[in-house]
């Protein structure tokens, strides 16, 4: 049997091969583990929730069209606070006991929904175990948030008194839950 001596490998070729092996091992490790934006982590949940609320601001009115008429005393009281803050104008039809509201010049920027900011997550409190629902991995996340980009009119004491849900959301940290679904680009609120 004849022994043939091994050829020496150049140092640069050996370094290149070692680098390629290291990159391949790293890609394999990342591919096998649930990491990246699809991982079930508080940071990824925060990103998904914040992205959702950038496109879904909180608003006082959801299905209201102007001119708007009402004879309901509770709704009239709320709408009158928007009149007092120069966002709406009011006329009264005394013969039929109806108040009619139209958008004032100062309110055109916010009408018809009168949005008062968007949520920004300040912490993830908990989340349920991941479960498959309609073919997607989902979890229910409990989180705390504050409101961002709150307009000056929403800080008015009389508007906050008339709309207590808005007052709570804009003046303190609030807690809520939301369902998130895993997607290739990260966690998202299912529509």
pLDDT tens-digit series, residues 116-140: 999 999 999 999 999 998 888 999 9
In a domain, 26, yes or no: no
User: At residue 62, does pLDDT exceed 50?
Assistant: yes
* pLDDT at position 37: 82
Say whether both 180 and 139 belong to one domain: yes
- Do 84 and 144 form a contact (C-beta atoms < 8 A)? no
Mean pLDDT of 111-119: 95
Q: Do residue 51 and residue 125 come from a single domain?
A: yes
DSSP string, 135-159: TEEEEEEEEEEEEES--GGGG-HHH
CA 69 vs CA 92, 100, 129, 132, 181: distances in Å: 9, 4, 47, 46, 40
pLDDT, mean of residues 27-43: 65
Task: Give the pLDDT confidence score for residue 171 in this predicted structure.
Answer: 82
The reply to whether 45 and 132 lie within a common domain is: yes
Give the C-alpha separation, 105 to 191, whole Å: 34
Structural domain total, the chain: 2
Residues 121 and 181 in one domain: yes
Average pLDDT, the chain: 85
- Per the model's pLDDT, the better-predicted residue between 31 and 36 turns out to be 36
Structural domain range at position 76: 68-107
Q: What is the mean pLDDT of residues 45-58?
A: 95
Are both 97 and 124 inside the same structural domain?
A: no
Mean predicted confidence (pLDDT) in 41-57: 95
pLDDT at 10: 52
26 pLDDT higher than 90: no
Q: Mean pLDDT throughout 147-157?
A: 94
Query: Which pLDDT belongs to residue 7?
Result: 54
Please tell me whether residues 134 and 75 are part of one structural domain: no
For residue 177, tell me if it sits in a domain. yes
């Amino acid at each position: 049997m004849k022994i043939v001596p091994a050829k020496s490998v150049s140092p640069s070729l050996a370094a290149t091969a070692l680098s390629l092996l290291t990159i391949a091992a790293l890609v394999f490790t990342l591919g096998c583990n649930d990491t990246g934006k699809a991982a079930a982590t508080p940071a990824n949940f925060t990103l998904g929730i914040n992205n959702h609320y950038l496109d879904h601001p909180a608003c006082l009115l959801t299905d209201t069209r102007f001119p708007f008429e009402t004879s309901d005393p509770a709704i009239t009281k709320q709408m009158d606070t928007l009149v007092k803050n120069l966002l709406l104008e009011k006329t009264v039809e005394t013969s039929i006991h109806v108040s009619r509201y139209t958008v004032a010049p100062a309110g055109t920027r916010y009408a018809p929904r009168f949005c008062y900011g968007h949520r920004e997550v300040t912490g993830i409190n908990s989340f349920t175990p991941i479960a498959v629902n309609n073919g997607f991995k989902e979890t229910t996340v409990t989180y705390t948030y504050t409101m961002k980009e709150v307009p000056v009119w929403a800080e008015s004491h009389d508007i906050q008194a008339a709309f207590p849900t808005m007052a709570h959301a804009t003046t303190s940290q609030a807690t809520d839950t939301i369902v998130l679904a895993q997607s290739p680009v990260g966690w998202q609120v299912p529509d």
